Amino acid sequence: MDRGTRDRGTRPLERGAVRKERGGKLRVALVYPNAYRLGMANLGLHAVYRLLNDHPRALCERAFLPEEPGAGPSRAGKGAGIASLESGRPLSDFDVIAFSLSFEDDYGHVLEILDRAGLPLRAADRGPDRPLVVAGGIAVQINPEPVAPFFDLFLVGEGEELCGPFLDRLLEAGARGLDREGLLTELAQLPGAYVPSLYDVTYADTTRPGGAWVTRFAPRRGAPVRVRRLYVKDLRTVATSRVVDSPDAQFGDLYLTEVARGCLWGCRFCAAGFVQRPYREVGIEKLEEEARKGIAQGLRIGLVGPDTSDYTGLDALTCMIGAEGGSFSPSSLRVDAITPELARRMAAGGERSITIAPEAGTARLRQVINKDFSDDRIVEAAGHALAQGMKHVKMYFMCGLPTETDEDVIGMARLAVRVREEVMMPRAKQSGRMGRISLSVNPFIPKPWTPFQWAPMADRRCLEAKRRLLEKELRPRGIDVELFSPREAWLQALLSRGDRRCADLLEIAHRETGGDLRQALSRWPHDPEFFATREVGVDEVLPWDFLDQGIAKKFLERELRRGVGAKLTPKCRLDTCRACGLACADHPELELPEGGLVGLSRK
């Protein structure tokens, strides 16, 4: 195996691309269904690329959605084709096409890529001479059903536990000469593998008020009733860092390295915070080793994790980076973790802005989502950053959260004004320069495997009214407000909580409306509001209930009630807490009858 900087299809300035001889090896095309610059900023893609190429009997090459010069991802059509980056070979030449799916927004791109590769869109239409089409990633880990008909197989969980066994089983089954049906039956026995074609699904009539979502979800040919997520139990010696360096990647100036997985805090809207449990850290010695690699390349160290401020060795690690002439940038910091010392190290490393995520505009609503810090603490955090030389403040909020009122929306504006008047303006008078303050506001989207998975999403008119209210408060004060499109957020909610019927919508959009889901809705026979904005009954069988994340559904239901009541739940105590169900090896609360899932209409 060789790692080159200028090989065939690889980009000229890349460093670290893997080259392997193809003879006798299982050929895997690892596809990120969006632009190169975005895919190459995804640490999960780097990890899987390394894991697949580490297997002695397999090779892995990358492919991305092509971009038109100066524009977004192209829509050049089927004839344009898609080739791997390393060798320039078409996707149809590979044995496996493996998609890395992090966002529901990329589901339409999956169909475009399959079509341009000359492959039938639906797994049922692909013959024995076609590549096996598989997928993994956080989006399909929480709910693969909207794209299930397009895939032969999903791998649920973390790549370190999945990639090697999957390749071994595939090679062994191939040596036995199994046909495609036999191969999928064999692969379905693999822990963490989900083969959609081996499950019979029946749905209720969504036009009937109070109807349940799924009435039956039953496995065939020995497929498991539940598909259990696999994860690395001990992360201390596992390094997940950037494998291929590219200045064309988003965050191309950062050497990205993962410090931890999982989260201790249980924010009730965050899927990753629940399905990536338990919280696990990479060892400080391993991270120091990785940081030195980045420093040697002249790169800043990008520390990646759901909440990097929880990392127990953060102070020691950031001090070591500074002492060895490097600088760092954390992907996320809790408000109460932004101390003068940490802010000073960030500013010394070149950070010119601080990003703060209060998420909600009032302390009451922050308690609803399980965040426990005051308005004063938010202003103080901004003050610590600006006092150390940073210039700008960006604040992240959500709107449309359960129980949100106009007072909560105005609270966002009040917080921003306080930061501007109490922190930024006094410093501007001293320096003669006024920094920028901006708000990024995202509509709340109910996500599977969170306590708010049952909650309705606010309708678009309500969200637009909240935006107008914010703009009225902030525009006169020169504070910018950016609200993610309510329409796009609504479509994301539809695909996030959808079932297999959403595959029809995606295919209609691909074949008839140039990928425009909004236009395709008029040709889709189902009510999208049933999936996106409806309040779901806690007794309903959900499309993703067949997955076993290790989280008890009763725990999520209890957290929903606590959230609506604005009650805080303490952070995870890994040594003693058993509330969510992860400590139960057999997950007894999650067992289901052998016949599969059976849901009944709510009375």
- State how far the Cα of 116 lies from the Cα of 35, in Å rounded to an integer: 15
Query: Which has the higher per-residue pLDDT, 102 or 578?
Result: 102
Q: Looking at the domain that runs over 2-192, which CATH code has it been given?
A: 3.40.50.2300
Instruction: Specify the residue for token string 């449309």.
Output: 400
pLDDT given for residue 204 in this prediction: 79
Q: Is the dihedral of CA 484, 488, 490, 495 positive or negative?
A: negative
What pTM does this model have? 0.91
Angle at 499 between CA 227 and CA 232, to 5 degrees: 30
Choose among 77, 32, 470, 555: nearest CA to 246.
32
- State how far the Cα of 575 lies from the Cα of 116, in Å rounded to an integer: 51
| Residue 542: Cβ within 10 Å count | 25
Mean pLDDT, the chain, rounded, equals 89
| Residue 59: Cβ within 10 Å count | 24
Mean pLDDT of 140-144: 96
What is the band of 203 on the pLDDT scale with cuts at 50, 70, 90?
A: confident
Contact 264, 334 (CB under 8 A): no
Mean pLDDT of 131-150: 97
Residues 6+ apart with CB under 8 A from 260: 235, 279, 280, 281, 282, 305, 306, 307, 308, 310, 311
Domain-wise residue ranges, the chain: 2-192
The two tokens of residue 43 are: 């640490």
pLDDT given for residue 56 in this prediction: 95
Alpha helices in 349-437 (DSSP H): 363-368, 375-387, 406-418, 425-431
Distances (CA, A) of 474 to 40, 144, 343, 401, 483: 36, 40, 27, 20, 13
- Residues 221-242: tens digit of each pLDDT: 999 999 999 999 999 999 899 9
- Residues 406-455: tens digit of each pLDDT: 999 999 999 999 999 999 999 888 888 888 999 999 999 999 999 999 99
Instruction: Specify the residue for token string 């020169």.
Output: 478
What is the band of 10 on the pLDDT scale with cuts at 50, 70, 90?
A: low
pLDDT given for residue 22 in this prediction: 86
Residues 6+ apart with CB under 8 A from 259: 281, 282, 287, 303, 304, 305, 308, 311, 314, 317
pLDDT > 90? residue 592: no
The two tokens of residue 148 are: 């299930």
| Residue 51: Cβ within 10 Å count | 22
What is the band of 591 on the pLDDT scale with cuts at 50, 70, 90?
A: very low
Lowest-confidence pick of 192-201, 308-317, 404-413: 308-317
Choose among 355, 353, 458, 453: nearest CA to 398.
458
- Residues 484-534: tens digit of each pLDDT: 999 999 999 999 999 999 999 999 999 999 999 999 999 999 999 999 999
Instruction: Specify the residue for token string 């904005």.
Output: 533
- State how far the Cα of 417 lies from the Cα of 424, in Å rounded to an integer: 10
- State how far the Cα of 116 lies from the Cα of 83, in Å rounded to an integer: 10
Angle at 464 between CA 458 and CA 469, to 5 degrees: 110
Distances (CA, A) of 473 to 266, 363, 403: 31, 19, 21
Contact 435, 393 (CB under 8 A): yes
Parallel, antiparallel, or unpaired: how do β-strands 280-281 and 260-261 relate? antiparallel
